[in-house]
Chains A and B, each alone.
Chain A
Amino acid sequence: MTTNGQQKRPQIRKKDLSLWQLSYIPEIIKGMFLTFKQILRPKFTRQYPEEHWTPPSSYRGRPVLVEEDGVERCVACGLCARVCPALAIEVQASETEELAKERYPERFEINMLRCIFCGFCEEACPEEAIVMSNEYELVFSNQEDAIFGKEKLLMTTEQLKERLEFLKESR
């Protein structure tokens, strides 16, 4: 017995093999049967564009801004922009009288060509206002399209329910 509890296989030496075994024919036949059996087994392929994969809540998809009661949670503190290792986030803060909060992001842009999906912005955010969604399909035809503004980043709390709950549990 080895340390990991598995039975050590007896060592096979070439001199102990019979001529029939040395011809490799029995092993080849064994292998052929094995591969033939695989033909009859179910397939693993996912027909991707038709059959969409929903990632688990721990998945770090594209970062989005949380929208609660029609307004983003973000208070434009700029911590996400500061912590972002790829310098992908740009926040322009502004003051407001109408909302419950005093500051709000006038402009919030993430360059999705720079984003490395590390999730630091999510960790740094004191308001839980920027989180990683479960979306992974990011296609653009030019560089301008890759800069996501607020209109593309906002997502309601209902849409992000699973991720927010996951964050509550893991923090």
Chain B
Amino acid sequence: MEFFIISVIKIVIVLLIILTVVANLVYVERKVSAAIQNRIGPNRVGPWGLLQSPADVLKLFIKEDIVPSTANPFIHSLAPVISISVALVTFAVVPFGGSVELFGHQVKLMIADVNIGVLYILALTSLGVYGVTLSGWSSNNKYSLLGGLRAAAQLISYELSLGLSIIGVVMISGSLELDRIVEMQSGFQWNAFLTPIGFITFIVASFAETNRLPFDLPEAEPELVGGYHTEYSGMKFGTFFLAEYANMITASSLIVTLFLGGWQFPFLETFGLPAMMATVVQVLTFVTKVAFVLFFFIWIRWTIPRFRYDQLMNLGWKVMLPLALVNLVITGGLILAGLF
């Protein structure tokens, strides 16, 4: 019972925080893109345009929800739900702090302490394809279908290098538990430094997994109108939109957890802070790192143009996959030599 209540509280808090961050990430993206293009960006709604996201969400809720007459209405409605729930549920295993003692209970700062965390992540990110593909298929529109097919092909191609680059990390820490992986990265023993190739392949693959530029082929506007969400309107479209940003947050927190030391603040234990303070610092460290990776996501989006479809496939199969395999061999060799 106690475990149940604690879990529910954690879920509610984390869900609220993530949904708020997702909404405001849209604002941040628009501001950063504006800055990169020498513009100002949204500044009309509220101070500095901070109320832009609530206004947008409100607008999407009020808008008419149009379902094409030839669409499959059940799957048409189901697809955005799959997209957003997969994006949010993946966050369940991400540890955002060590354990803390609250009101006499030892609370771990992650929602689900699963001992196969990495497998859980890989399983769920593959599920994300269904949302995109089903939405493309059920719309009964050739552009949507093309977008959905592209998404399926792209996600499957990059899933491989994503998984293989995680295996390097798993080999080093010898565990599938994310908590354990983070603990192994104390000090500056970040996996990003230990397996640099794996780090790069993971970042590139997660860009492809989240459908962000330079890999946003499933929704390439000039070619596919809107891609898989062409036939969506109102809050169903908004759900896809939010799912994209929720995916971004999940991907960033995975990059941080697996490669950038998670909530570890280097050499925090030497400062001799009280336990409560240390936990606050850990959570803040995690948030700051995620924020930096998110900025990197946005920064890349406004720097690099979109790949052509054949280039995308070439990169995925002929470059990323061999690189991930090479990374495995190198990491294995280093472990065999006893360096880690």
Contacts and interface: CB of A to CB of B under 8 A. Distances in A.
A54 B9 CA distance: 58
B305 to A, nearest CB: 9
A32 interface: yes
Interface in A29-46: 31-32, 34-36, 38-39, 41-45
A149 B324 CA distance: 75
Contacts of B304: 28, 31
B299 A35 contact: yes
Given A28-B303, A31-B304, A35-B299, A43 B39 contact: yes
Contacts, number: 33
Interface string B292-315: 000000011011100000000000
B251 to A, nearest CB: 19
Contacts of A43: 35, 38-40
Interface string B26-44: 0000001001111110000
A78 B35 CA distance: 53
Secondary structure at the B interface, as helix, strand, loop or mixed, is loop
Nearest to A42: B38
A93 B35 CA distance: 57
Given A28-B304, A31-B304, A38 B38 contact: yes
A169 to B, nearest CB: 35
Contacts of B35: 38-39, 43
Interface in B13-55: 32, 35-40
Interface in B82-133: none
Interface string B230-249: 00000000000000000000
Given A28-B303, A31-B304, A32-B300, A38 B39 contact: no
A35 B38 contact: no
B38 A32 contact: no
Interface string A59-103: 000000000000000000000000000000000000000000000
A39 B39 contact: no
Contact of B303 (A32, A41, A44, A47): A32
B303 A35 contact: yes
Contacts of B299: 32, 35-36
Contacts of A35: 36, 299, 302-303
Contacts of A31: 303-304
A39 B40 contact: no
A2 B302 CA distance: 34
Contacts of B300: 32
Contacts of B38: 38, 41-45
A45 B36 contact: no
A12 to B, nearest CB: 18
A45 B39 contact: yes
Given A36-B299, A39-B36, A43-B40, 14 more contacts: A28-B303, A28-B304, A31-B304, A32-B299, A32-B303, A35-B36, A38-B35, A38-B37, A39-B32, A41-B38, A43-B38, A43-B39, A44-B38, A45-B39
Interface of B: 32, 35-40, 299-300, 302-304
16 contacts: A28-B303, A32-B299, A32-B300, A32-B303, A34-B303, A35-B36, A35-B299, A36-B299, A38-B37, A41-B38, A43-B35, A44-B39, A45-B38, A45-B39, A45-B40, A47-B40
